[in-house]
Amino acid sequence: MIRTPLTRWFDLTTPIIGAPMAGVAGGATARAVSEAGGLGMVGVSGRHTAEFVTSESAIPAEAELPFGVGLMTWTLTEHPELFEATVAAQPSLVSMSFGDPAPYVGPLHDAGIAVAAQVNTLADARRALEAGVDVLVAQGTEAGGHTGQRALLPLLQEVLELTDRPVVAAGGIATGRAMAAMLVAGAAGVWVGTALLSCTEGLNAAAARERIRAATGDETVLTRAFDVAEGIAWPERWPGRALVNDFSRAWHGREAQLVTDDAARRLVVEARRTGDPAHAPLYAGEAVGLVTTERSATDVVRELDASAEAALGAASRLVDRG
């Protein structure tokens, strides 16, 4: 068994957190990850309702499993009910990412809930530490979905120099070897998203999972085109890493023109409704080429854990040989 400060804090048997991917990671995914000994999380966006938070959180809670909820901080000014429902659900961990966590740390701590924050720069990390966040998630640009511009390994090393609080690594981790590498580098755990995109418990459609399994790691783009097309007020500093498709080929880098092109923007809105992969965003990280099967998130987490333990053992024997 791999033991770290993260596993001891949340009583886990593996230091794996399932990323709170909005639109993919609901209660069933969170439960499946936690059943494997990790910490499953429910992803919440501004499109969701308080009722969604309550009903999805109940799925792992009813099984008496630890779970978390991931909130997009910048959405909460207009949707405070999402935060209220999250506190009421009593998760083990709440991730306050993509914005200033400071206003929310105190109320979460008062409710007995630990707080994490994804950070993409050293300034983010310092702000999170000053706010009293318990767990920092160093998210590299390799990650799928909305992310920053820095590669994981340099960012992780710099964040580790700032604090003795648990730091979790996120971005590009889809094998036990990668997980072992992050633990050896000093991370207390890993935050896994793309590896769970083809799991049977996901909220995403079967066609999306099929497209994920067919993709390679060379087929992603970090772009704001989809957010601009949908009129989503994501802060500009966090573009989204998605699979390349016809729409991103046409509009990535031309977002200023896209703002005024109503016909082009409608393509994405309609594609979201119909599931058209040529124009709808399908967020995935650079490790997507390693996702080739459709199976339970429980099996994915168990395999990651076993492979990481084997890789750590192999590394130890290699060092012993000099």
| pLDDT, tens only, 51-75 | 999 999 999 999 999 999 999 999 9
Q: Band of the pLDDT at 320, cuts 50, 70, 90?
A: low
pTM for the full predicted model:
0.96
Question: CATH homologous superfamily for 5-203+292-320?
Answer: Aldolase class I (3.20.20.70)
Q: What is the pLDDT of residue 25?
A: 98
Helix (H) or strand (E) holding 70: strand 67-72
- pLDDT, average across residues 193-201: 98
Q: Are the beta carbons of 144 and 288 closer than 8 angstroms? A: yes
Q: What is the pLDDT of residue 215?
A: 97
Q: Is the pLDDT of residue 312 over 60?
A: yes
Please tell me the distance from the alpha carbon of residue 17 to that of residue 294, in angstroms, as a whole number. 19
Q: What is the pLDDT of residue 297?
A: 98
Q: Kindly state the tokens that stand for 308.
A: 């990481």
Where exactly are the structural domains of the chain? 5-203+292-320, 206-274
Q: Kindly state the tokens that stand for 271.
A: 């594609």
Q: Is the pLDDT of residue 316 over 80?
A: no
Q: Is the pLDDT of residue 319 over 70?
A: no
31-56 pLDDT per residue, tens: 999 999 999 999 999 999 999 999 99
Provide the CB-side half-sphere exposure for 60 (13 A, CA): 34
Q: Is the pLDDT of residue 217 over 80?
A: yes
- pLDDT, average across residues 153-163: 98
Q: What is the pLDDT of residue 196?
A: 98
- pLDDT, average across residues 97-120: 98
Determine what percent of the chain is predicted with pLDDT higher than 70: 99
- pLDDT, average across residues 217-242: 96
Provide the CB-side half-sphere exposure for 55 (13 A, CA): 5
Q: Is the pLDDT of residue 291 over 90?
A: yes
Please tell me the distance from the alpha carbon of residue 241 to that of residue 231, in angstroms, as a whole number. 17
- pLDDT, average across residues 230-245: 95
| HEC per residue, the chain | CCCCHHHHHHCCCCCEEECCCCCCCCHHHHHHHHHCCCEEEEECCCCCCHHHHHHHHHHHHHCCCCEEEEEEHHHCCCCHHHHHHHHHHCCCEEEEECCCCHHHHHHHHHCCCEEEEEECCHHHHHHHHHHCCCEEEEECCCCCEECCCCCHHHHHHHHHHHCCCCEEEECCCCCHHHHHHHHHHCCCEEEECHHHCCECCCCCCHHHHHHHHHCCCCCEEEECHHHHHHCCCCCCCCCEEEECCHHHHHHCCCHHHHCCCHHHHHHHHHHHHHCCCCCCCCECCCCHHHCCCCECHHHHHHHHHHHHHHHHHHHHHHHHCC
Q: Is the pLDDT of residue 130 over 70?
A: yes
